[in-house]
Amino acid sequence: MQRVLLRNILARNQALKRQRRQSKEALNKEAHEVRQGKFDAARAARSLVKAERAHRREDWILGPLAPNRLAGKDGGGYGMLGMLSIQTPTVMKGERERYTNIVVNDRVVVVSGREKGKIGKVAIVNEERQSVILDDINVVDVKVPPFMREQHNSKAPYQALPAQIPFKDVRLVVPLRDNTTGQIRDTVVKHLKSGGPFSVPAYGSNTPKHTRYIAGLNIPIPWPKAEVTKMKAEAGDTLRIDVDDVSFFPSLNNIPMPMSLIDELRSKYGRLRRDQRQEYVQQKMKKDAEEHWEKQRRMLLPRQEYLEQKLKQKAPGETAVTQETMDLIKATQAANLVNASERTNGLVS
């Protein structure tokens, strides 16, 4: 019994070590991807600034002879940003907000950047990058690759796209009643907190389960009305009453399903399958042939090969003995026995 317990403890410790190692590897991989994304974005920004400085110096040196950068091969994309410039870097899972308090259709105000003071509606919430995209706010001209032009049927080398804004640069705007005047006006909420009660949103809705409050006042802020896609029932759909009906009763005397179905559910290369597929049998035969070839494969020098052939020639083989030879051997053995007995008798006397 002690051996069984010890074996279980060792197996559990090995599983825990493996789980910790896998978690650490996943964390390191995520950190590397985040660092690589930040490095690429910073490199793109530096290259853009460096190119603009070179252009400015060239224009200052040439003066009236400075080239018109709006013309030429890359003239249509002069002054445009790259795709990496409109995206915020990815945030690691441990550094993200546990509960997102800003959702689609919320009204927010920008508190930092060139669009400071503008109020807009949230169009997209990106939790991985902890950022939002607002309707018609922070729109910039971006260079688009040729395949995107073909998708949008556009010949222009650029396209006006909204850039992402981090969560820290926006504040939620909610209508609240003023205690002094009694009128309802827009109020900028600086700090939000999450808590209960937790509810189950409608199917297909992006409304979070938690409730958001104004920190310090504990005033709940309702979520915007979610757009739920209405599902239309078709003639071939399964009814809810049929889904809830219990039709399977497990038993210890009978198997839950036919063995043929169990074989189908098992791995096609599993050892527990009763009928192995032809491809599995061929794979096993090929593997056995490769192992046999590996065992016999070795490099022989000419001398070693000669010695092996010589040993095979010296090896004793099966010889056929005739009946006459057998009779002669028996007679010789009998005569030797008689002679030996006579000598023994003479010595005794």
**Separation CA 285–CA 276 (nearest Å):** 13
Q: For residue range 130-171, what is the model confidence (pLDDT) as tens digits? A: 899 998 888 888 888 777 777 777 777 788 888 889 998 999
C-alpha span between 333 and 55 (Å, rounded):
118
Q: Is residue 34 part of a domain?
A: yes
Distance CA 214, CA 175 (A): 12
Same domain, 26 and 118: no
Distance CA 186, CA 101 (A): 18
- 330 is a domain residue: no
What's the CA angle centered on 200, arms 197 and 201, to 5 degrees?
115
Q: Are strands 170-177 and 107-110 parallel, antiparallel or unpaired?
A: antiparallel
Q: Which amino acid is at 34?
A: V
Same domain, residue pair 111 and 197: yes
Q: What is the mean pLDDT of residues 195-205?
A: 80
Share of the chain above pLDDT 90, in %: 5
305/153 Cα distance (integer angstroms) = 74
Q: What is the pLDDT of residue 225?
A: 81
Q: Is the pLDDT of residue 255 over 70?
A: yes
> Do 224 and 245 belong to one domain?
no
Residues 45 and 108 both lie in one domain: no
User: Which residues span the domain enclosing 275?
Assistant: 240-291
| pLDDT tens string 259-308 | 777 767 776 666 666 555 667 677 778 888 888 877 776 667 788 778 87
Q: What is the DSSP letter of 206?
A: -
Domain assignment of residue 160, yes or no: no
Number of structural domains found in the chain:
3
Note the pLDDT of residue 313. Answer: 78
Average pLDDT over residues 101-126: 89
**φ/ψ of residue 60, rounded to 5:** -70, -40
- One domain, residues 50 and 127: no
Amino acid at 53: R
User: Residue 194 pairs with which residues in a beta bridge?
Assistant: 212
In terms of domains, do 284 and 257 share one?
yes
Residue 151 lies in a domain: no
- Is the confidence at residue 312, as pLDDT, over 80? no
The Cβ-side half-sphere exposure at 329, using a 13 Å CA radius, reads 6
Statement to judge: residues 180 and 226 lie in one domain: yes
Between residues 18 and 240, which one has the greater pLDDT?
A: 18
**Three-class SS state of 140:** strand
pLDDT range class, residue 74, cuts 50, 70, 90: low
Where does the pLDDT of residue 318 fall: very low under 50, low under 70, confident under 90, or very high at 90 and above?
A: low
For 210-224, write each residue's pLDDT tens digit. Answer: 889 988 888 888 888
Same domain, 127 and 27: no
Look up residue 76 and give its DSSP letter.
G
Residues 161, 86 contacting (CB under 8 angstroms): yes
Read off the pLDDT of residues 3-47 as tens digits, 9 standing for 90 and up: 767 777 888 888 888 889 998 998 898 888 888 888 888 888 888
What mean pLDDT comes out for the span 54-67?
88
Distance CA 112, CA 168 (A): 9
CA distance 171 to 106: 10
Is residue 174 in some structural domain?
yes
Q: Is residue 116 part of a domain?
A: yes
CA distances from 345 to 267, 332, 335, 336, 338 (A): 83, 20, 16, 14, 11
Picking from 19, 49, 66, the residue at the C-terminal end of a domain is: 66
Q: DSSP letters along 147-181, please?
A: HHHHHHT---SEEEEEPPEEGGGEEEEEEEE-TTT
What pLDDT does residue 108 have?
92
Structure tokens belonging to residue 80: 């445009």
With CA atoms as reference, report the closest residue to 110 among 188, 222, 10, 49. 188
In a domain, 268, yes or no: yes
Both tokens assigned to 68: 């018109």
Asked if residue 110 and residue 50 are part of one domain, the reply reads no
| Same domain, yes or no: 215 and 256 | no
Residues 221, 283 within the same domain: no
Question: Are 125 and 220 in a shared domain?
Answer: yes
Residue 334 covered by a domain: no
